[in-house]
């Protein structure tokens, strides 16, 4: 295996171009999927195929006879707990008692090549006792329903939660207007281009080295160790550049299977790389939801009461489904002042496909329902969609709907004011009127809010290490994954700014559990904030060490006389210089590097006393905000919906790297537009109807408008260089913005997304009666 | 069936023996170590495995080894010459068109084919020309920007 540590040449001397881009445009960059090596063993999984059944036996005899098969492993070959999961450890590495969805892994095949692997997988026979399948929420929650996890005390309810404040019922009775709305969202597939992939090898000392496309290297090692009964210290996990993740690699995919394979491959490297179809039917997806909303306001349009019931279908396993539901619950009332709330949410086990983390983490669903309900209410009150939001949007010091006091930067009102001045808003009537024959145009608005970090209980911690190398360059050790979002480049930029060094004087070591320090997951809009803070402290400490030593060498009277310049330290009064390479030799080894850890602050509020909800992340302290506008054109003959223009105004704190921030907003908005317009992962009683990229429709370059991203002036005092999370918030807006625009264009409001031409046309015909 | 084939690969005459029905994407990645050619669907839906065959973009997951015989093949590894990055590669870097990068080689080669057919495409034509290549990170806008930059440059498609 080649060295997959990053040490890249950057061709520009500022930070405007991502340092990882040259390696990616030349094809030189090696992803986990690109690792092979001599004597490679191909590993593949026999999946259950059944929805709900008790395992009676596995017959591998025919498959084992095949030429080119090294080994077939089942649960009997696992010495550990054979369970994976972050909160509930409820998912087997290889099924040992029950099958709970067709993607469950039953046997692991090690083969000389892919052809033999494919034939062996077909020959393995699984003997199952079928159990009744549970495919909808009512059936799962019905008294006496068959249990998907017999030992789970709450039956098929993985997690249930409630946020209550004030007197909702009384308050509704005094409201001048009340809007009710039900909305349903389907599964959304991540569809990262690099499907789940990894590579593993057993070392002569009994330890294992893995290279995996993952968001969570350190946590993975704990999970692998526990599941397989291994020593955590004997597992080294390296994360090569990751070909997209979006939450789908936050949680074990190939890791334990690869490690198990490497334990039985006699020292040969083992590779697993799921095919697209396998990724679709075994990998996790965005939770489907059913959402019931009731919102009331006084005559002045001020929200008084909100009641919501939120049902998340978590599929067969937890897979962070409880945390997804909790974040949805906390965001169910959005960035608004609502004094009386009764919000209840359930994450429910079913035998449907596996749900899990997906950028937005439960929020895009609730925001879609809330923001449509707000538009319905605005219409009743004869208020513009902008005005009703302006009257209710939170400002710093307010309590948001969930009851969290907003002590961090809160610039939503500024976002609304900025949008109000934009030509897309001021010129909306003229734009709508210019629709051609058989076309109708509409403008839709939505607010967005997204909390960052892990909440009050799980410490949101990262440690950063930086050292001055013998060549006089600064090497940054980062244990937090970059799955494409560019946080690694931002880290380089942060260090470069503090140390006054151009990219060419910086080196970057990517996540590697042996080389880098734990940094937590690449999720929850947290990496740049939390690791960034640790890195700032480390870079400042190292800078101080260098300056102090240089001052001594220069005989400087004051430390301020010494500055860092690219590649050197300089004594300002005399102009003397010492190259950093020499400084590296002068410094004591412990002064030539710095390690700092940072733990993100938590909210002082406790809007819930429920320890389970707190553990699952309620509440957050720091939120990003925004307001989105979609300009939509509907073809009334075909029902086709086209988003012609899109504007995202955001408060994500100070924008440290405008290019990377824009990448995040544009990419998230397009994933959200896909969810609004075409993306619907469908399974019927375990049979997948959208099993590939021909039937699951992703947006192409042709389907999308140019987007405008407008950050407002903002500064988060606790954030590194004033920034806060921006990786997810962009995906919370497109679905409600398009839904509201569709209503504005042609007076229809669909009960579910995506808003396909077929559904829109049917709604148009029904409306015409 | 084993066959012996000769072709030009990234400017170099290449001769090898392989199974006639070996997928070209596997031959490039596994036998020749050219992992810049990515695979993301194996069914011709995503464009990640795009290579240039006699200058035209082709999906290497749908090609068999026998189809290489006598052809001139360019993969992403053969694009940057002695002078550094190709203008399209450079534009992808400077315009921020790269995020995770897994779609990038295919999109760059697809863009080069587009600019060969239409050296001065407008944004709509760029969007249409690249609609066979999926990207899940960028939302395509900066990719369109990158190709537009090259199309507008005095050097043209080069």
pLDDT, tens digit, for every residue of A358-371?
Answer: 999 999 999 999 99
Instruction: Judge whether B32 is closer than 8 Å to chain A, CB to CB.
Output: no
pLDDT tens digit sequence for A701-712: 999 999 999 999
Q: Which residues of chain A are within 8 Å of residue B105 when distances are taken between CB atoms?
A: 25, 27
3-state secondary structure string, A422-447? CHHHHCHHHHHHCCCCCEEEEEEEEE
Give CA–CA dist A353/A686, Å, rounded: 7
Read off the pLDDT of each residue in A648-653 and give the average, rounded to a whole number: 98
A193 and B98: CB-CB below 8 Å? no
Q: Which residues of chain B are within 8 Å of residue A663 when distances are taken between CB atoms?
A: 96, 99, 137-138, 142
Q: What local confidence, expressed as pLDDT, does residue A9 receive?
A: 44
Report the predicted TM-score, pTM, of the whole model to 2 decimal places: 0.97
Listed residue (B7, B132, B3) closest to B68, CA to CA: B7
Residue A602 · residue A608 · CB < 8 Å: no
Instruction: Judge whether B133 is closer than 8 Å to chain A, CB to CB.
Output: yes
* Residue position matching structure tokens 């001020």: A302
Q: Which helix (H) or strand (E) holds B14?
A: strand B12-19
B77 and A26: CB-CB below 8 Å? yes
Give CA–CA dist A651/A196, Å, rounded: 33
Instruction: Judge whether B25 is closer than 8 Å to chain A, CB to CB.
Output: no
Helix axes B87-94, B141-152, angle to 10 degrees: 130
In the sheet where A340-349 sits, what is the strand order?
A157-165, A340-349, A303-315, A289-297, A177-185
Listed residue (A421, A451, A457, A597) closest to A516, CA to CA: A597
**Cα→Cα distances A748→A440, A630, A634, A636, B139, Å:** 12, 16, 11, 12, 27
pLDDT tens digit sequence for A60-117: 999 999 999 999 999 999 999 999 999 999 999 999 999 999 999 999 999 999 999 9
Instruction: Judge whether A26 is closer than 8 Å to chain B, CB to CB.
Output: yes
DSSP string, B49-104: TEEEETTEEEETTS-BGGGGTT-EEE-GGGTSBTTBS-HHHHHHHHTT--SS-SSH
Give CA–CA dist A307/A687, Å, rounded: 35
Listed residue (A297, A295, A294) closest to A176, CA to CA: A297
CA A512 to chain centroid, in Å, comes to 21
For B141, which residue in chain A has the nearest alpha carbon? A706
Instruction: Judge whether A666 is closer than 8 Å to chain B, CB to CB.
Output: yes
Residue A48 · residue A220 · CB < 8 Å: no
B135 and A486: CB-CB below 8 Å? no
B136 and A241: CB-CB below 8 Å? no
Question: Under DSSP, is residue B36 helix (H, G, I), strand (E, B) or coil?
Answer: coil
Q: What local confidence, expressed as pLDDT, does residue A2 receive?
A: 35
A25 and B104: CB-CB below 8 Å? yes
Listed residue (B113, B125, B58, B68) closest to B86, CA to CA: B113
Read off the pLDDT of each residue in A617-629 and give the average, rounded to a whole number: 98
Instruction: Judge whether A581 is closer than 8 Å to chain B, CB to CB.
Output: no
Q: What local confidence, expressed as pLDDT, does residue B154 receive?
A: 80
Listed residue (A154, A161, A151, A157) closest to A90, CA to CA: A151
Other Cβ atoms within 10 Å of A585 Cβ, number:
11
Q: Which of A24, A669, A692 sits opposite B104 (nearest CB)?
A: A24
Token pair in block for residue A187? 């599964």
Q: How many CA atoms lie within 13 A of A610 on its CB side?
A: 17
For B30, which residue in chain A has the nearest alpha carbon? A36
Token pair in block for residue A587? 């410094």
Is residue B82 reached through a cis peptide bond, with omega within 30 degrees of 0 on the bond before it? Answer: no
Give CA–CA dist B7/B73, Å, rounded: 7
Token pair in block for residue A212? 């995996």
Stretch 397-436 of chain A: residues touching chain B, C-beta under 8 Å = none
What contacts B26, CB < 8 A, 6 or more positions away? none
B101 and A702: CB-CB below 8 Å? no
Read off the pLDDT of each residue in A741-759 and give the average, rounded to a whole number: 98
Q: Which residues of chain B are within 8 Å of residue A726 when distances are taken between CB atoms?
A: none
CA A174 to chain centroid, in Å, comes to 40
Give CA–CA dist A59/A56, Å, rounded: 10
Give CA–CA dist A533/A476, Å, rounded: 14
Residue A30 · residue A197 · CB < 8 Å: no
Q: What local confidence, expressed as pLDDT, does residue A5 receive?
A: 35
| Average pLDDT of every residue of chain A | 97
**A543-573 as b/e: b if 16+ CB within 10 A:** bebbbebbbebbebeeeebbebeebbbbbee
Give CA–CA dist A105/A281, Å, rounded: 11
CA B74 to chain centroid, in Å, comes to 7
For A658, which residue in chain B has the nearest alpha carbon? B96
Residue A754 · residue A673 · CB < 8 Å: no
Q: Most B CBs within 10 Å: which of A24, A242, A690, as the mutation test of the B interface?
A: A24
Is the complex ipTM more than 0.90? yes
Read off the pLDDT of each residue in A238-257 and give the average, rounded to a whole number: 98
Strand partners, A91: A84
Q: Which of A29, A663, A669 sits opposite B142 (nearest CB)?
A: A663
Question: Under DSSP, is residue B19 helix (H, G, I), strand (E, B) or coil?
Answer: strand
Question: Under DSSP, is residue A750 helix (H, G, I), strand (E, B) or coil?
Answer: coil
Other Cβ atoms within 10 Å of A675 Cβ, number:
26
Listed residue (A614, A609, A321) closest to A457, CA to CA: A614
CA A184 to chain centroid, in Å, comes to 21
Stretch 489-548 of chain A: residues touching chain B, C-beta under 8 Å = none
Q: What local confidence, expressed as pLDDT, does residue B155 receive?
A: 59
Q: β-pairing, A270-273 with A41-47?
A: parallel
Question: Under DSSP, is residue A766 helix (H, G, I), strand (E, B) or coil?
Answer: helix
Listed residue (A196, A251, A197, A264) closest to A224, CA to CA: A251
Q: Answer whether residue A4 shows pLDDT above 50.
A: no
Listed residue (A650, A643, A646) closest to A723, CA to CA: A650
Instruction: Judge whether A599 is closer than 8 Å to chain B, CB to CB.
Output: no
Q: Answer whether residue A12 shows pLDDT above 70.
A: no
Give CA–CA dist A356/A421, Å, rounded: 39
A193 and B89: CB-CB below 8 Å? no
Q: What local confidence, expressed as pLDDT, does residue A411 receive?
A: 98
pLDDT tens digit sequence for A371-383: 999 999 999 999 9
Token pair in block for residue A477? 């050790």
Give CA–CA dist A297/A337, Å, rounded: 11
For A28, which residue in chain B has the nearest alpha carbon? B36
**Cα→Cα distances A40→A1, A114, A208, B39, Å:** 11, 11, 15, 18
B35 and A692: CB-CB below 8 Å? no
Sign of the torsion angle spanned by Cα atoms A296, A301, A303, A304: negative
Q: What angle do CA A359, A364, A367 make, to 5 degrees?
A: 150
Q: Which residues of chain A are within 8 Å of residue B141 when distances are taken between CB atoms?
A: 666, 704, 706-707
Per-residue pLDDT of chain B (158 residues; tens, 9 = 90+): 999 999 999 999 999 999 999 999 999 999 999 999 999 999 999 999 999 999 999 999 999 999 999 999 999 999 987 679 999 999 999 999 999 999 999 999 999 999 999 999 999 999 999 999 999 999 999 999 999 999 998 854 44
Domains of chain B: 2-78 (3.10.20.30), 87-152 (1.10.150.120)
Give CA–CA dist A500/A570, Å, rounded: 12
Within A555-586, residue ranges assigned H as helices are 580-586
Q: Which helix (H) or strand (E) holds A674?
A: helix A658-677
């Amino acid at each position: 295996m080649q060295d997959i540590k990053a040490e890249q040449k950057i061709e520009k001397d500022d930070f405007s171009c991502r340092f990882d881009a040259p390696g990616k445009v030349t094809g030189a960059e090696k992803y986990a999927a690109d690792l092979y090596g001599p004597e490679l063993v191909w590993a593949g999984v026999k999946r259950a195929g059944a929805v709900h059944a008790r395992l009676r036996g596995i017959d591998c005899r025919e498959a084992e006879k095949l030429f080119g098969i090294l080994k077939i492993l089942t649960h009997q070959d696992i010495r550990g707990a054979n369970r994976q999961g972050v909160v509930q450890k409820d998912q087997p590495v290889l099924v040992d008692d029950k099958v709970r969805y067709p993607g469950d892994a039953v046997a692991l095949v090690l083969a000389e090549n892919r052809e033999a692997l494919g034939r062996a997988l077909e020959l393995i026979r699984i003997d199952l006792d079928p159990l009744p399948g549970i495919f909808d929420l009512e059936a799962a929650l019905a008294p006496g329903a068959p249990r998907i996890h017999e030992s789970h005390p709450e039956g098929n309810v993985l997690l249930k939660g409630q946020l209550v404040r004030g007197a909702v019922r009384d308050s509704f009775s005094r409201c001048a207007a009340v809007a009710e709305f039900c909305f349903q969202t389907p599964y959304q597939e991540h569809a990262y281009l690099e499907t789940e992939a990894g590579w593993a090898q057993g070392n002569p000392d009994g330890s294992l080295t893995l290279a995996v496309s993952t968001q969570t290297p350190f946590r993975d090692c704990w999970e692998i160790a526990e599941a397989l009964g291994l020593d955590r210290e004997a597992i080294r996990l390296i994360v090569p550049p990751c070909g997209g993740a979006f939450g789908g690699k936050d949680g074990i995919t190939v890791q334990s299977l690869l490690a198990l394979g490497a334990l039985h491959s006699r020292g040969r490297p083992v590779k697993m790389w799921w095919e697209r179809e396998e990724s679709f039917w075994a990998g996790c997806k965005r939770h489907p939801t059913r959402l019931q909303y009731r919102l009331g306001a006084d005559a002045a349009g001020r929200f008084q009461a909100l009641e919501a019931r939120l049902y998340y279908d978590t599929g067969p396993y937890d897979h962070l489904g409880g945390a997804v539901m909790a974040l949805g619950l906390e965001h169910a009332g959005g960035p608004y002042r609502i004094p009386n709330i009764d919000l209840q949410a359930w994450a429910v086990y079913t035998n449907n496909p596996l749900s899990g983390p997906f950028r937005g983490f439960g929020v895009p669903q609730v925001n879609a329902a809330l923001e449509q309900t707000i538009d319905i209410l605005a219409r009743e009150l004869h208020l513009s969609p902008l005005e009703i939001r302006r009257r209710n949007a939170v400002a710093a010091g307010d309590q948001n709907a969930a009851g969290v006091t907003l002590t961090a930067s809160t610039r939503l009102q500024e976002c609304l004011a900025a949008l109000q001045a934009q030509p897309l808003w001021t010129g909306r009537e003229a734009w709508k009127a210019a629709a051609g024959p058989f076309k109708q145009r509409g403008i839709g608005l939505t607010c967005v809010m997204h909390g960052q970090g892990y909440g009050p209980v799980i410490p949101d911690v990262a440690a950063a290490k930086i050292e001055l190398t013998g060549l006089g360059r600064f090497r940054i050790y980062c244990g937090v994954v970059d799955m494409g979002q560019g946080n690694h480049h931002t880290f380089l930029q942060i260090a470069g700014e503090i140390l006054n060094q151009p990219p060419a004087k910086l080196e970057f070591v990517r996540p590697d559990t042996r080389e880098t320090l734990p940094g937590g997951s690449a999720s929850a809009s947290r990496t740049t904030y939390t690791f960034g803070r640790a890195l700032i402290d480390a870079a400042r400490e190292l800078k101080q060490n260098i300056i102090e030593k240089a001052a001594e060498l220069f005989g400087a009277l004051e430390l301020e006389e010494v500055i860092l310049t690219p590649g050197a330290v300089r004594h300002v009064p005399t102009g003397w210089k010492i190259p950093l390479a020499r400084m590296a030799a002068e410094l004591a080894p412990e002064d030539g590097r710095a390690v700092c850890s940072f733990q993100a602050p938590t909210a002082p509020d406790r809007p819930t006393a429920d320890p389970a909800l707190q553990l699952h992340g309620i509440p957050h302290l720091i939120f990003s905000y925004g307001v989105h506008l979609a300009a939509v054109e509907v073809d009334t003959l075909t029902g086709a919906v086209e988003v012609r223009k899109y504007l995202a105004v955001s408060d994500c704190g100070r924008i440290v790297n405008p290019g990377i921030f824009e990448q995040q907003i544009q990419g998230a908005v397009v994933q959200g537009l896909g969810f609004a317009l075409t993306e619907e992962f469908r399974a019927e009683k375990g049979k997948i109807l959208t099993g590939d990229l021909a039937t699951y429709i992703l947006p192409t370059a042709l389907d999308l408008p140019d987007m405008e991203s407008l950050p407002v002036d903002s500064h988060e005092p606790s954030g590194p260089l004033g920034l806060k999370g921006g990786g997810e918030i962009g995906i919370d807006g497109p679905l409600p913005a398009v839904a509201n625009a569709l209503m504005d264009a042609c007076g229809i409001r669909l009960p579910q997304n995506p808003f396909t031409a077929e559904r829109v046309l049917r709604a148009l015909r029904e409306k015409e009666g | 069936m084993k066959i012996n084939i000769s072709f030009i690969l990234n400017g170099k005459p290449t001769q090898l023996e392989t199974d006639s029905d070996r997928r070209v994407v596997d031959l490039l990645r596994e036998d020749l170590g050219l992992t810049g050619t990515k695979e993301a669907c194996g069914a011709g839906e995503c464009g990640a495995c795009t290579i240039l065959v006699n200058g035209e973009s082709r999906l290497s997951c749908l090609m068999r080894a026998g189809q290489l015989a006598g052809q001139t093949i360019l993969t992403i590894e053969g694009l940057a010459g002695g002078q550094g990055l190709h203008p399209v590669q450079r534009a992808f870097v400077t315009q921020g068109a790269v995020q995770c990068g897994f779609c990038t080689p295919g999109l760059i080669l697809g863009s080069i084919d587009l600019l060969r057919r239409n050296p001065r495409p407008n944004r709509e034509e760029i969007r249409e020309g690249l609609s066979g290549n999926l990207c899940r990170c960028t939302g395509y806008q900066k990719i369109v920007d990158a190709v537009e930059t090259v199309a507008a440059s005095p050097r043209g498609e080069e």
